[in-house]
Structure 1
């Protein structure tokens, strides 16, 4: 994934928006950590996989699942984001392949899924702190803590992508270190036989798959920041590769230490349990460090997700899919109205439980990913001669085959959803189906201003005139 061809864009030119100075563009290292936080942020939240299926299936899942899901999604994101280096990201992919109506549906489902996802992080933040600070477990202190955390992190997003990127690096290093320490401490106590414990008759498959899916998806989120990345045709593929390695290792090593060094108590393996494992292995000081790392990690997750969600709204507004006021930037170059919309959604959804949020966001995310897979294949067929700064080294047939396993996985995740999750998610989907025609009518009646940025390229027009053969890149 790390290699890109050196050719220029054909039809998709890297656009430097006049309101942003190049120094505000995100460079490679901050981008790696932003992707790390968009997807993972560390092993916080993986505990339910052990509680649902036991050590062996949990470890196996975090080895196999990235090959089935994460690698294909990251490869598709690398190719498509370098073809379309603008903030609408996957919305433009689907619009180009299937038309603006379905592009809007993609944007609606993925934005809503992202906002639901972001509502998790204040909950996880407080779940890790409640053993040390019981007051934040419930009631008014918990509500106040969620509100304060949301306001502070929203303000950091408002201050600009450069700040968000470098804060992500600091938070990432701080969040990873205690698990490295815990891993070394656990070595004398590890009994490998504990890793092999499995009981196929006692597996909560829905919780198991939802936990794996939630912890290993959202690789495509970085596409909504492509317009803010310095030299995206080189930096995006490299950042996705390095982030993928960080994410997988960041899950497997703590699970090896936690399941191998202490006797198994499956009922205890719920979100926040790594802090208890740290106390057992290293003492109170390590537990406090893990809890502090969890708090910092959730701050990074929140900021990265809010950046993607708000810039997606900005990108859709620049494409004329949403009212023009959503394209307004602050003096720091950030999408002011988009940030406020995303923060409001987080506050409205933060009352849901951890499992409810995961199930709902996974359901909506699955619909969006199906559209992305279709768009990826259709653009390969529709524009075979378009230059691809990075290209997945597979032909059309190989690309179709690559998409089959993750599509099958999506079907399994959807089939295992509860009736409540299905009904709530379908209501959200129906709202999107109706919302787009309503917005077009609002535009026609001139009740709100809609406009398309003149800086954005017309891919269809240029690609159809391009007769150069498509270029490929090796892994």
Structure 2
């Protein structure tokens, strides 16, 4: 029953898209601006990383050698498979909702809904980490923000202002991300150049202190190099997604890896190891030692700008995911309503409120919980990818991973093992929080179905939308 419902939704969406392509005037809504390649590259960049501002924790947890190896090896084991998967599925199912659509098509509405809630919870909890990270940098200049009422007021105000920027339009957010990316990366380019004469390659081989914090190490690297699939929730807003997405993912991947690795090699090679100092904000201290206070201040400003980009990209992904879930009928229709700026205003509001609510957690607890929930979603995502290869072998795929079925199984195997490792090293608090949020997601699925049956809340239906379009034709 669920599988037939999912297939019916897929056929209806295909039919609707073909009808609109043949007769564009059938769509009564005015066209809105679509995301072009450059802003999409920087939105993906900010979805994944946003710069090397938090990679200090990896050096502090395991020393320079393991930190460097992590940022060299992990992209091949994790980032590339996830990006390839995203390129294939986002171009094959180019609608808002991304991975929710994939799981729904592969396994039916229950798993599509659960995927949506896993990824949404991980996304909005991740949102809460950005103001916390921002305050970690600002408190070096304004010590009053370290704790107490000023700390929480600063988080509340920053979250509210940044959420309003997202409300103003996705194209604006995209080009803002381009500007923020360039400005926030420049101080690291300068730091790397200033470090060159001081680099001693033997420092890269240091193992650091004997006791390693492997949980922090894996969580930091994983957190900094995941979320490649998040931009798929914006597929309905992208100009020519079948061409744009593969190019954007490749370009953003290259930019992300270089942005992490070059400053890490430069800083660890130029500075004597003081592992205790490698915590959030230490790059700014290195900048002061190497070049002077002017670069430190620029780097701290760059950190704030980078966090703005991270926040905007993550909020866009979360909001348009909810919009996609509303279009699929998993959430009430109001989550699919758009403002005069063509943005999903209710989805943005709910995402921002939840992010503020969990901002009391520490940065390390935030990323641990995010990683666990994200891992659950990614395991389902890999399974959906393989299922769709088998379920729809003849389906037109504008971009297809150039591997046969056995090849894509092997491609998904290694990152799946990494996901399990990340989950195994989680703390008891993370297990409890993740189990609770999973239960909430399952409960919401059945509550939404009951609400449809009882007609308590108004929902969108793909079939109803198609009928409206057919009548217009």
Q: Distance in 1 between matches of 2:463 and 2:181?
A: 37
Equivalent residue, structure 2, for 1:402: 411
1:454 is displaced (CA, Å) by 5.0
1:150 is displaced (CA, Å) by 1.0
Within 5 Å, give how 1:76-115 maps onto structure 2: 76-115=85-124
Q: Which runs of 5 or more structure 2 residues have no equivalent in the other structure?
A: 1-12, 468-473
Does the 8 A contact of 1:12 with 1:85 survive in 2? no
Task: State whether structure 2 residue 31 is matched by structure 1 residue 21.
Answer: yes
Name the Cα RMSD after superposition: 1.7
For residues 3-58 of structure 1, give each alpha carbon's deviation from its aligned partner in whole angstroms, at most 9, with x where no partner exists.
xxxxxx97794878754524x21000000000000000000111100001100000
1:202 is displaced (CA, Å) by 2.2
Within 5 Å, give how 1:90-239 maps onto structure 2: 90-198=99-207, 201-239=210-248
1:199 is displaced (CA, Å) by 5.2
Q: Secondary structure at 2:229's aligned position in 1?
A: helix
For residues 68-113 of structure 1, give each alpha carbon's deviation from its aligned partner in whole angstroms, at most 9, with x where no partner exists.
0000000000000001111111001000000000000000000000
Q: Distance in 2 between matches of 1:39 and 1:199?
A: 27
Equivalent residue, structure 1, for 2:350: 341
Q: Distance in 1 between matches of 2:84 and 2:434?
A: 28
| CA gap 1:200/1:400 in 2 versus in 1, 3 angstroms | farther
| CA gap 1:18/1:65 in 2 versus in 1, 3 angstroms | farther
Within 5 Å, give how 1:39-438 maps onto structure 2: 39-198=48-207, 201-438=210-447
Q: Distance in 2 between matches of 1:40 and 1:114?
A: 14
1:456 is displaced (CA, Å) by 7.5
1:453 is displaced (CA, Å) by 3.8
Q: Distance in 2 between matches of 1:20 and 1:97?
A: 33
Q: Secondary structure at 2:211's aligned position in 1?
A: coil
Q: Which runs of 5 or more structure 1 residues have no equivalent in the other structure?
A: 1-8, 459-475
For residues 393-412 of structure 1, give each alpha carbon's deviation from its aligned partner in whole angstroms, at most 9, with x where no partner exists.
00111000000000000111
Pick the aligned partner of 1:452 from 430, 449, 461.
461
Q: Distance in 2 between matches of 1:299 and 1:429?
A: 29
Does the 8 A contact of 2:208 with 2:275 survive in 1? no
Q: Distance in 1 between matches of 2:413 and 2:163?
A: 38
Q: Distance in 1 between matches of 2:208 and 2:446?
A: 50
For residues 140-168 of structure 1, give each alpha carbon's deviation from its aligned partner in whole angstroms, at most 9, with x where no partner exists.
22222111111111111111011100100
Q: Distance in 1 between matches of 2:366 and 2:311?
A: 15
Q: Distance in 1 between matches of 2:443 and 2:36?
A: 39
1:129 is displaced (CA, Å) by 1.2
| CA gap 1:61/1:20 in 2 versus in 1, 3 angstroms | farther
For residues 264-296 of structure 1, give each alpha carbon's deviation from its aligned partner in whole angstroms, at most 9, with x where no partner exists.
111111111111111111110000000000000
Does the 8 A contact of 1:20 with 1:333 survive in 2? no
| CA gap 1:451/1:271 in 2 versus in 1, 3 angstroms | same
1:226 is displaced (CA, Å) by 0.2
Q: Distance in 1 between matches of 2:263 and 2:30?
A: 40
Does the 8 A contact of 1:10 with 1:386 survive in 2? no
Q: Distance in 2 between matches of 1:127 and 1:20?
A: 44
Does the 8 A contact of 2:64 with 2:208 survive in 1? no
Comparing 200-209 with 182-191, which one deviates more in the overlay? 200-209
Q: Distance in 1 between matches of 2:132 and 2:241?
A: 33
Return the structure number with greater helix share: 2
Q: Distance in 2 between matches of 1:378 and 1:99?
A: 11
